[in-house]
Structure 1
Amino acid sequence: MDLVDWLSENPETIEHVQEIGDLLAYRVIGEIDKGFGGGKPREVRRRLTDHFWCDLLVAMAEVIESFSTAMNRIPEYVTTVIVQTRKAERRNPLLEALVGLAVQTAWAPIESMICTTGIEEVQRTCWILAVLICPAPEDHKAVQDGALLPLAKEGMLEVSRERLEQVFPADWVHRLREGLGGA
């Protein structure tokens, strides 16, 4: 099928092409003019016509593909980490299929949150919630290393569960723990 024919059948893509084209033509060029244009922005722009823009777009597309592949592998990776961590910490083993189902079910909404909220905020949220629901963070190495330590590095020194419960509604924390099997 011809590209033009395909585009005529996919108007959403035409809008996306225009959006990225506008981003390059106005925002990126504007920043380049400010940062490198000096008194001769046309000269800088002319040098960029030597395959720079197509290189940029192809490289972005390649990185997006790698990123997408990595994002799709996250549930598999998380499942493996949980199974290995539980084994290393000599905790009761869990059926890998059970862990996989829980991870898959949690991942889709968390992935959406990453797009709307941002990676750092979702990551911080997971750390805080892990500390909040852990029955004994002082005895759980994964929570210590994977949540308490990063929170401490962010400037949140050892925050007790009781203090976190002051921030979150007590009934919500109680319902969450009950919903997670009394954890």
Structure 2
Amino acid sequence: MAVRRQLADHGWCDLIVGIIQVIEAADGVVDSVQERARDIITRAVMSSSMQGHRDQVTGRIMALVVDRVWSALFEALKNAVPPLSLLTNEDLLRALRILAVFICPAPGLHSEVLTHALRPLGEDARGYLTDQTKEYLGEVFVEWRVGDSHQGRSPGDRTS
């Protein structure tokens, strides 16, 4: 019974934030691996013994070709290995962030939820949070700040 109570006290939102952090870190690793793979492939083609017969194919052109082929190959790989898709899925990451905010009993007191869930949702370029919602969050959570419009204001200030 004590374990259940302790898990209810931010245990589940911490678990979701942990998953968010793994996906964020994995996405960085996947991007790094893909960039490195493209470089290796480009160098391999450009240093091929056959490259002497391709004087019009520059490193820049080959990098473009490799980028296109690699992108198609990686998409096929993600479809063939579904867990790999999870590591690069922005929709999943967004859904987990929303879930972390909603499941957290006190997001304003839970710095990890603010840092890894609420703030990234507010900073998302697609504008999932309206300006009015951001204003409200600035009033409710002292730690919440997005853009210059909230900087230096106290939660009760209502100046336009």
TM-score range, shorter chain: 0.3 to 0.5
Bigger RCO (CA 8 Å, 6+ sep): 2
Using structure 1 for the length normalisation, give the TM-score. 0.32
Choose between structure 1 and 2: higher helix proportion.
Answer: 1
Using structure 2 for the length normalisation, give the TM-score. 0.36
Larger Rg: 1
